[in-house]
Each structure stands twice: as C-alpha cells, then as structure tokens.
Structure 1
Amino acid sequence: MNISHLNLHSLRSLQELNLSNNPISIISQKDFENFDGFSLRTLSIHTLSQCNKLEKDAFKSLPNLKQLDAYGYPKLGYLDINGLLQKLPSIEYINIETKDDDIGSDQLNSILHPRLKELGISGSRLKSISSGAFSSLKGDFVRINLINTSLSTLPPTLFFGVPRSSKIELDVSGNKLSTLNPQFLSFLDDRRGDLKVLGLEKNPIMCDCGARGLRRWLFINMTNVKCWGPDYLAGKYLLELGDSELTCDSPRTSSSTSKTNPSSIVTPKYQPSSLEPEIIWSIASTEKIKPKPKTKPPLMGQFALNNEDTLIISIVGGVIAFITILIIIICIIRLRMPSQQFKHGMEATPMGQIMRPTSSCACSVKGMPPLYSLPPSYATLPYKTQGVPSVASLRPSNYSTLGRIPYQTTQPYLVPTDEKMYR
C-alpha cells in the first residue's frame, strides 16, 4: 500500500505509530512536528536498512512517549544515545542500538528513573560496558536486555549501588561471553533473590579452568549451558564435567596417536560412528568419578565480602578511630589543667602563723585579726615563678616615706602609756 501522497497535516489522536521495515534514509526533528506529542505513546522505527542519519533531537516533540524501538540500522555510522535519551523524560520501554564500542557510566542516567521497566541495548560494535553503568536504577522491577553485542565480559560492579528493593532481570543472549568472572558470580550470589541472569546458554562458553566457578554457580541457577570449546568438550553440558576435566592444559594423547601422521589425527568430534572415543571417555569418567560421587558444590554465600560490606566496615572503622582520637585529646587537656588548690578561692592564714615573734614577750596584747594571703597567681601584674613561696614572700610589701623606717621591718611591739602597766 502506497501512502506517499496522502495529505496528512495533523494527527492529534494518534497513540501508536509503526514505521519499521521501510526504506527511510533520514529521521530528523521535523518528521514528528505534525504529531501531537502529548498523545503519541508508542513509536517503532526498527529494521530500517536504508537509514543513514538519525538526529538526536528527532524525538524532541514527543515528551510523553512511553515506548520506543529504534534498532536495526546497518548503514548508520553514529548515533548520539545520550543526546537522544535526554529528550525522552517519560520513557518506560526502550530498545535501542548503539554504534559505540563502550557505554559510559553516565551515558544512561537520563532514563534510569523509577518509571523505567525495560531497557534493551544492542549493537555488534559494543565491546565493553563501564562499571556502575546501571547504578542509578531505582525501579521496583527492571528488565535489561544486553543482546547481540560483542561483550566478552561483565564488570563485577555493573549493578553496584542499585538498591536491594529493585528486582532486576538481565538477558545476555547473543553476546561473546566465554565465562563470568568470580567477582561477578559472588555479586550474583549475594543478590540471588533480586538479580536473575538469562540467556547465558546462547554464548560461546569455554569449558576450561576459568569455568570452574561458573559450573558451581550453574548447579544452583542453570542446567542447560553447553560448552562451545575446546573442541574435545564442545556440545557437552558444563554441569556434567568435573574440575579435573576443566583444565587449561592441552588434552592428552595416546602413544599410538603420537606415532601416526599428523594429517590423519581426527578429534572425536568428527567421528561419531567410532566407538573408541566413547570407550576411552567412559573409562576415564568411571575412574575419576568413583572417589568423589556427586560432590556438593560450595555455597556461593560463603564468598568474600562484596564492595558494600567493605564500604560499611570502612565507615565503622573511621567512626571508631575518630572517637578514640577525641578521647585522647580530652585526656591531654585534663592533664594540663592547673592544680585544684586555686579553684576554691582565697584561704585565710592567721597572722600568728605567718609572723611569729622571736622574742619572749609577756605583753598582754590583744590578738591581731587574721591576715589573708593570696597566692602569686592572683596578682594583676605578671608574676615570675620562683618555686615554692616562703613565709617571707607571703608577707605584705613594706612601704616607707621620707626616709622613715619601713613599716613592719622589725618585730611588732607595744609602747605602754603608763609604766605601771609592767609592775
């Protein structure tokens, strides 16, 4: 059906539009200006074999778009995913093709909002993905499709920071994953109830020494993963192999095989009619399985601490160190405080204890009022410390005027007014 000459000026009530599998070469910003951006909810523009240009502002006039399928552009050389996704604030389901070989940690932050339910990324050029690329996920349930890419490994901290309340379903079909590293497997085991991996059987799994940890994890989670290599294990289920068979050494050959012509050596993979390989493998498996029948795989929950536990331990240790330093500082300040003898004010010292007469005078003189002595630290002028104050230093200062004898330079005496007082 040809609709090229239809006079369509405005489509105000259109909610779903599918332009897939058409010879469209350019998608620009003006192409969707006649559509009511507030009504269109679903847009499918995938499998456009002739498309060679897709502007980043092409969906600027569609702020309420909920679902977008934009992939399958073999002639498109570059696609600004970050600029394209920033114009989709309400997107919930998106499947998009990338033309980059790497996805940065902040490239997807604009759409990782709580309303996102499905995110699909494809593209044969994609070879790596940064750690924490999905750390901003906040939805209750999100399905992530990393399909048909050239990814050969997944970083251990791919979902670091994602709250445990978020349920994630990860599909890795059609990639080049040869195995999953132990750190990522440990994270999967820690988030066993929150993170689920699918499509691992559609990857070229290498059954060598690096697949031992993967085999233990598959024992609990998957059972249909087959070996892609090496050749003598191709097509076998990974769970059926023992650790002794998962080796990085070259396969052993018999003495008769080593003497024959190399051109006549054929692997068991290409001789299904011969019974010799089956007999050899059955004998080897019987001898090796007998001492360890159905060994229980180690629980993945006993792996090393993950990054979250390390962060919590670091914070607690820092708080304890801070409190310890604070207590030490307080103790040092308390030790340097002045003695408690000057905290209770002035102490009364009777004059009789400070100034004791040296002569034996039997005079009937009334006792003098007590003299209050002040410690040196109560002086208003700077005081020069001279050790322990003596009795002489506690006496009041001597004053004299006009050459007279200074006051109290001698022992106190009484001048009688009448000589009869001594009789």
Structure 2
Amino acid sequence: MSNRPIAIDLFSGCGGMSLGLEAAGFDIAASVEIDPIHCLVHHYNFPYGVTICQDISQLSSQELLNSITHKGFNRNIDLIAGGPPCQGFSQIGKRQLDDPRNQLVFEYLRIVSEVKPKYFIFENVPGMATGKHQHFLNELITEFAKSDYSVVQPIKVLDASLYGAPQKRKRLILIGYRKDLPKPKYPAYTHGDNNLQPLNTVSSAIGDLSNISVFIGDDWGIDAQKLDYSQFRENFAIDQQGKYSLCHQRVVDNIVWGHIGSMHTEKSIKRFKQTLPSDIEKVSRFFKLAPDGISNTLRAGTASNRGAYTAPRPIHYQIPRCISVREAARLHTFPDWFQFHRTIWHGFREIGNAVIPLLAKSLGEEIIKCLNVDLLSIKIKKLAVVDSSILSYNMRQASAFWQVPSDVIPKRTRLKI
C-alpha cells in the first residue's frame, strides 16, 4: 500500500500535470481524458493508476471513485488538478457557466464539489484573468465557495520559465482549498532576477542532442550513454534523477526515443540558415531558437479536423531544421524516460497541450507542505512494464483498446502545401 497522497488529473492529456505531481510526491490514482491516443500515452507512463478514456460529462463521481478503489487506492482524495477548455464568454450579467461552450469547466466544478478533495489546482489560459473574462472567473470562484472551497487570492498567472523551464509559457493558476484545511501558497519563483537562479537556456536543455542527427521516418532510438546528463540535463536522465528523483521507477531499456524530425526542402533549409537566432523566419513564420535564450511557447497546433499536420515548431539554433519531438520534450521539461506517441504529429500535439511538469511540481510541493507529508518516508515503487507497441497505435486501434467510438476525436485532414 502506498503512503503517498492521492491526486486525480482531469483533462490529463499525455500527463504533464501528472508527472509534475508525482515528482512532488503524489500518486496519480486516476486520470480522465477523452482522446484515446493521449490516454494510451498516459496509461503507458502511469500504469499504477486508472486511466479513464471518457467524456467527463458522461462520468459520474461514483464511477470515478469506484475505479480508484478497484486500483487499490482509498477514496480520501487529497488533490484534484486539471485544465478544462473554456471558450464561451457571454455578455456581462449573464451566467457564463451555463454557456454550452463552458460545459467542461462546469464538469470540473461538478467533480470537485462531489468528490470533495482537500485541495484543487485549476489551470487555464492567461486571458481568463483579463477584461470581460474576469466576470467568468469571479463566477467560478463563487461556485467553488458554495461547495465550501476558498481560492487563494490574488489569483496569479505563472510563467514556467521562472520555475526552471527553458521556455516562456504562462498559465493562469487557481489554487483551491477546503475551508477546514490550511491555506496553501503560490510557489515562489526559483529562477530569474533578484538573486535567484539564472534562467535555464535552450542549449542547457538540448545541447547534447545537437550532435545526433534526427531520425526521419522510423525512430531508431538513441543509446542513452551517448547523451550528456550533466548540470541542468541531470533532470532528464534516463534513470530518474534530480527533479524527478521521487518518481516511481520505470523499467527502461536505456534507449531514448523521439528524436524524430521532418524532411525539409533545400529552400527551407536555406531560409533557416539565413534566419538569425531569436528572429522569425519570414516565410514559415517559425521562431529560431537562441542557444543562450529560452524557447518561445510550444503550441499544439490546430485541431486535427482543421487541417493541421504538425504544430508550428521552432528552428534549431545550430542546425537548419525544426526541433525534434525529444528536443521539444526537453524544452517542456519532460525527462528522457517519459514516452510519447511514436509519430511526430501526435508527439508534438501531446507536448504542446501539456502542463510543464516543473511548474506542476512546484504547485504540488505547496500542497504537500499543507498535507504535512514526510518526503523522506514516501515509497518509490518499481512499476510494471507496459507493452510499448501501444505508443504506435492509430486512432482506430486506440479506440478499440479503450472500447470507445473511433470518431470521438475528428479525423485529421492533411493540408496540401
């Protein structure tokens, strides 16, 4: 039986929030995600918890708790985390939680109010804290209060680069706590100005991968012994070190996957060469990374049914090509043992949609303090091996694995360029 506090990750994607919370000392008892391929990746990386591939609006709290009990966890949930998409902002004066486009925010609120965790973390786009959107935010806080939850004030937008990520990525964070429990704090910045640690740079994260050509088509993997896990890159080591030392032990084969890229035309390569670091290439509009700078925000791209094949990717600072999936993962602070789907499109989509794990870890650590968890005593398990073939499943295969309809996510249409 685990002695770790228990967390649930809603709208989990591939597991960026889950990873950060596990690194802080939590067990991820359950995740809920509608995309079957994202669910496979989460299941592969967190096999000890239950992965629920379902529309959250069709999931009852009782079903969620029963599935956790079936996995051997108790039903006393310490934390619920997640970032539900929200799009609808009606006129001021109208109840915006009733807007159908905000249904997923309402479902997040429902699960929290019914499960009654000790704490919750709500993350979303920074724009929710500005302008007319503030009305929606205030409405949400009022609804949480009706369920006996307070929200830490003032609400903050946090930049992941100030918590160690070599990427500028801002997210609105709400930290909620049951009114009978200690009030948590927002995590203090660890990097930046004012005598803090210097920002981690692009080259400090991906410099050792620069000497290894990206794989085109098939991913042959890299022997981890060829990589340099010194200084900041210690955190990405294949055998769980540094910031991820409290994570459960995954059985790895010392092969690093995901250093895959696209075939560029000679014209593109020439333009990439001519673009200066920190500038935007004029035709593709891709940002070129600077070795001593931080990455721009990595995006997931448009939805599959809107024609996107891969998300816009930065240009490498040294080599005239876009970064690989593994390089993007490093810039997002995923360690090399964390696995993604084996294709470029799904891999970048998973990374671009994910919460930055080091930011999630900093948030989780503040909740751990309030729970009075002794981190020196928590158990680290050796996890069961999961068949890696599921990381190559297409949508039809993934849907069959979870026994859900194959059209739950609209099919992709490729752009002709």
Q: Do they fold alike, i.e. is TM over 0.5?
A: no
TM-score normalised by structure 2 residue count: 0.18
TM-score normalised by structure 1 residue count: 0.18
Identify the structure with bigger relative contact order (alpha carbons < 8 Å, sequence gap 6+).
Answer: 2
Larger gyration radius, structure 1 or structure 2: 1
Give the helix-richer structure, 1 or 2. 2
